[in-house]
Amino acid sequence: MHDSVLRHLRESFHERFAHHGHVDQVRSAGRLFAGDYSAAATVRDEFDGSLLGIGVMHDLAGEVVSLDGVTWRVPVDGTPVAVDIEETVAFGIAAHGGRRHRVTVGAGVDVDGLLGVIDTYLARHHIDHEEVVCALRLTGTFRDVVLRTVASPTYEGETLGEIIDDEARFRFDSWTGTMVGFRFPDATTGDTIPGIHLHGIADDRSSGGHLRNMTTADVVLDLWVDELHRLHDSAESGGAESNEAVDFSRYEGPVDD
């Protein structure tokens, strides 16, 4: 009887976590940061049928947020604009399928704290965060939010790091909306962006962009455990690649000011 209980628990565990989805990424992060902002895929090709997604538009025409079957870009003025499915992205990540997990997140959790919440949840279920990709959807009310977007390059060959140095930041004492994105493994060769990478869009669609800072107030976190599929790029091969390691924590992570 004891063995049958253990067997049932083991089977329930595998049933709960065996149905992984998959994540498709177009273009490597290293190539984007090296200054290749050419069209890599259409919005249709990258986000059609996806649960959620993030990215950057062709020629840096806006940070991308895709959810509920609609894809938005957030240009340099910070106001989201719905995009046509035939428009193109320079970089995109989209989550497909998988089983949803509801994860408890209390009030007062910042970006680093959210990473801890996710990794603790995975560890509790014997999942190594270095072996999977997690798609994330965080919905509700937040405090001390900082969102960013960037302008198009001012000259050929301008790297993304140089452009982000002049990023436009938008600050909100209180903000209500949805953050979507991914928790990638920390170990990376530059193909992917390590750690947490989230883009947000307000419920009233008045603001959005790449998340720099936030503190949770009253939120719900949905998580999908996914596998990363091979990167693809419809642009011609031989594009620029970053010749040195990208300081993702500086350009993508939380800011002090």
CB within 8 A of 141, min separation 6: which ones?
174, 175, 176, 217, 218, 219
Nearest alpha-carbon partner for 45 in 100, 107, 2, 87:
87
User: Quick one: DSSP state of residue 110?
Assistant: B
CB count, 10 Å around CB of 235? 16
Domain ranges of the chain: 2-228
Place of tokens 């009253």: 218
**Number of helices (H), then strands (E), in the chain:** 6, 12
CB within 8 A of 89, min separation 6: which ones?
26, 39, 40, 41, 42, 43, 46, 55, 56, 57, 58, 64
Residue 110: predicted pLDDT: 97
* 238 or 49, which is more confident: 49
CATH (residue range 2-228): 3.30.1330.80
* DSSP codes joined into one string, 136-201: EEEEEEEEEEEEEE-PPPSSTT--HHHHHTT-EEEEEEEEEEEEEEEEE-S--SSSS--EEEEEEE
Residue 10: pLDDT band (50, 70, 90) is very low
Output the pTM of the full model. Answer: 0.88
Residue 249: pLDDT band (50, 70, 90) is confident
Q: What percent of the chain has pLDDT over 70?
A: 86
Residue 99: predicted pLDDT: 85
Residue 241: predicted pLDDT: 55
| Average pLDDT of the segment spanning 240-253 | 73
- Segment 155-201, tens digit of pLDDT: 999 999 999 999 999 999 999 999 999 999 998 888 899 999 999 99
Give SS3 for 251.
Answer: helix
| Average pLDDT of the segment spanning 31-39 | 95
- Segment 67-117, tens digit of pLDDT: 999 999 999 999 999 999 999 999 999 999 888 999 999 999 999 999 999
Query: Which residues sit opposite 142 in a β-bridge?
Result: 175, 216
Residue 21: pLDDT band (50, 70, 90) is confident
